[in-house]
Every structure is written in structure tokens, then in C-alpha cells.
Amino acid sequence: MDSVFWSRMLTEETLAFHIIWAAIGVGVPIFISLAEFIGIQKKDVHYTMMAKRWTRGFVITVAVGVVTGTCIGVLLSLLWPTFMQLVGNVISLPLFLETFAFFFEAIFLGIYLYTWDRFKNPYWHWLTSIPVIIGSTLSAVFITTVNSFMNTPAGFKLDAAGKVIDIDPIGAMLNPATPSKVGHVVSSSYLISGLLLAGLAAFFILRGRQHIYYKKALKLTMVTTFILSITTILMGDISAKFLAEHQPAKLAAAEWHFETKEGAPLVLFGSLDPKTNEVKYAIEIPKALSILATNNPNGTVIGLDSIPKNLWPPLYIHYLFDTKVSIGFYLLFITAVFLILWMWKKGNPFHPIVLCGVVIAAPLSFIAMELGWVFAEAGRLPWIITGIMKVGEAATTAANVKLMYFLFSGLYLLLAIVACIVLYRLFKGKPAEAELKAFEGGIS
């Protein structure tokens, strides 16, 4: 196995590990701020305690996200030197801005952490959570523009010698892929963070903790994630239309759409014969792919027959796409069920079956996110920069990448173990009920 293989493996592993912590770091501040605001408005200590407890766990995820994010920056230069040599100056602005956004977030996170009960007017403390949200979200926005650039490069020209000229960093950031990718990444980060918090609340209720704190936490997070589920699905629809226009090969491979035609059907599930490209056992929805791609049931969708075979993305991305979309609709379903039962007078949103569904939704949302990123990256193959540079041309030729892979794997394993132990010990023996009792006693 050559250095290209190990470079890909290490990069994929790093991104897969980092995105878990990064997504939590982007989404949880929204729920912290929302809980504190409701607590102030309603003078409800349960919501205030939610904000305090969620903030403790959030700090740990930020720490791990910083380490893994730093690893990504280092690996870009070590593993993909030709890529950085060609476009490093083009994408340097969003990389710098991402770092600036993190420092902005970290400064206000420190202020937020150490100024609880320091203001006579509690709204002043709540206001310090807003910059944390802005900083964390902008970090995701800026780094996603780099990935967007790799899908639809813009903001530069290549001269006759293949060198980059006429660099426009803003144009590179605002490339055609940016709106759909940024929207999808941010909305899904908010969604999985909400489902993580909802899953924890549902889990504790199933374990017998019937304190009103957990039920309020579950209601807050489920209402919000219902809205975010719809938003994320809508952003997925926008992304599909973007693919049809700018990356038809990725869409065709994802849908096993081999023939360019009007009124293209949507292929769900099934299996593919790799020798004949014959699709078996699939569900076909007539004209649905044309509607998805063009908003026209008779619209023309480019098939793989119009693309040279050596530029086809791997066809296994169909399974990733179907699984991701299926999970997305499940998340919408379980949040809708909870809300319907909550609003229905005779309904019981805290029924064990519903709670189990919520608990399952939490890890499923992370799986969907991971599948989405693998789909996004594998679907661009064989390109690292679409139409300009292939993966094999960008990777290092160093012989020690395999060793680096195992060293970094050990680092990520250690980080995961330490983070889990710290989070466990942070809340061990400190249930919300006990903290609330002490908190209310302190007030009286």
C-alpha cells in the first residue's frame, strides 16, 4: 500500500474523529443560550441548571475539538504538500478566519463560564453566550468554505505553466458550493447536538429519573430538533440541486443513474452488479430524480454515460446516500411523534417506546453525519480539487505515512478515552436533582 492510500486513511480518520467534537462544539452553544434565556424569562431554575450543566460538558468537547482541528491543519501540509503548494494562498484566508473565530469564541466562553451570578441583571450574562454561538458557527462556516472550494474551485486562474494567478480569496470562499454546503453543515451540527442532549434526557428518564428537569430538557430539545430536522432536509434538497448543476457525476453515482434522460426515476436501496452495472431489488420512484434535481418532472438529469469512466466516483456512495437520507427522515419522524403526543391531551410523549426512539436517534444522527461527510469526499473522487488536481497528484511521497497513521490513531484513541472519563467523572454522583436541591437551598 502506497503513501497515497495511507494519506487518505489518516485524513479520513482525522476528519471522522474531529467532526464529532466539532459538530457538538458548533451546536451545543445554541441550546445553552436558549435554556438560559428561558430560565431568565420564566424565572425557572430548571432551565438555568440545564445551561450550567450543558456548559460543563461543552467545555470538554471544545478542548478535544481544538486538538483534532490542529491535527487537520498539520496534516494538510504534511500529507498533501502539492495541494497546499498549488492553492495554499487561495484558501489561506478562510483558514486564518477560522482560527480567529475560534479565539473569539474561546474568549467569550471564558467570560461566560466565570461570570455566572456576577451581574444584577441576568440578561447581561446571557448576552455573553451570543458571541460564543457566533464564534463557533463562524468556525464551521469558514472551514466549510475550504471544502466547498475543493468541490467547485473559484477565485483564481491558472497560467500556461499551471501556476495560480489572479487570486481572489473572497471569490474562493464564495464559490458555488458554499451556500448549500455551509447551510447543510451548520443545520446538521445544530440538529445532532440537540438530539444528543435529547437522547441523554430520554435515557435518564428511562433509567427511572422522573424529575421534571429531565422532562423539560427533553421538551426543549425535541421542539428545537423538529424544526432543525425540517431545515436539514430542506438543505439536503438544495444540495441535490447543486450537485445536478455543478457535480453531476456525484449525483449520478449516488443514484445509480447510468443513462442521461428526461423524467429520471429515483433509485432507492437495491444492489448493484459491479460487472454489468445492473441494479436489482431497488425501489424506483418515477420522475422523482428529475424533480429533485431540476424541480421539473420531465427535467433532464445527466447520467454516468455522459462522463468518462475513469472520472466516475465510487458507486458504493449510493448506499451511503440512501442510509443518510433514511436516517434523516427517521429523525424527523421521531421528533414529530414526540411533539404530536405532547400537544395531544391524551398523548404521552414520555412513553418508553417514544423515549427509546429518542435515545436511538442520538447515535443515528452522528452516523448520518459521518456518512454524509464520507459521501461528500468520496463522491468527489478521483479529484481533490474538482477538474484541476487528482488525489494521487496531491499526496506526499514520504515513506513514513503508515507509521504516522498508527501514531495518530493512538492519539485519537487516547483523546476519546480521556474525554469520556472526564465527562463521566464530571457528572458522576452529581445528578440534576441533587444540584437543583442545593441550588434552590442556596437561593432560599
Lowest-pLDDT choice from 200-204, 278-282, 366-370:
278-282
Looking at residues 368-395, what average pLDDT do you find?
Answer: 90
Residue 227 CB neighbours (<10 A): 15
Cβ-contact 436, 213 below 8 angstroms: yes
pLDDT of 73 > 90? The answer is: no
| pLDDT digits 0-9 by tens, 173-191 | 999 999 999 999 999 999 9
Cβ-contact 109, 167 below 8 angstroms: no
Looking at residues 305-329, what average pLDDT do you find?
Answer: 91
Q: How many residues does the chain have?
A: 444
pLDDT of 103 > 90? The answer is: no
pLDDT of 444 > 60? The answer is: no
Position 162 scores a pLDDT of: 79
Position 330 scores a pLDDT of: 95
| Range from 275-289, 355-369, 372-386 that averages highest in pLDDT | 355-369
- DSSP string of 419-433, one letter each residue: HHHHHHHHHTT--HH
- DSSP string of 184-253, one letter each residue: HHHHHHHHHHHHHHHHHHHHHHHTT---HHHHHHHHHHHHHHHHHHHHHHHHHHHHHHHHHHH-HHHHHH
Q: Mean pLDDT of all residues in the chain? A: 88
Position 441 scores a pLDDT of: 53
Looking at residues 391-397, what average pLDDT do you find?
Answer: 87
Which cell is 40 given? 431568565
Domain ranges across the chain: 3-260+302-443
Angle between the N-to-C axes of helices 212-246 and 317-343, in degrees from 0 to 180, rounded to the nearest 10: 140
Position 435 scores a pLDDT of: 65
Looking at residues 40-44, what average pLDDT do you find?
Answer: 90
Rounded Cα distance, 441 and 45, in Å: 12
Position 1 scores a pLDDT of: 54
pLDDT of 270 > 50? The answer is: yes
Is the Cα torsion angle 222, 323, 7, 76 positive or negative in sign?
negative
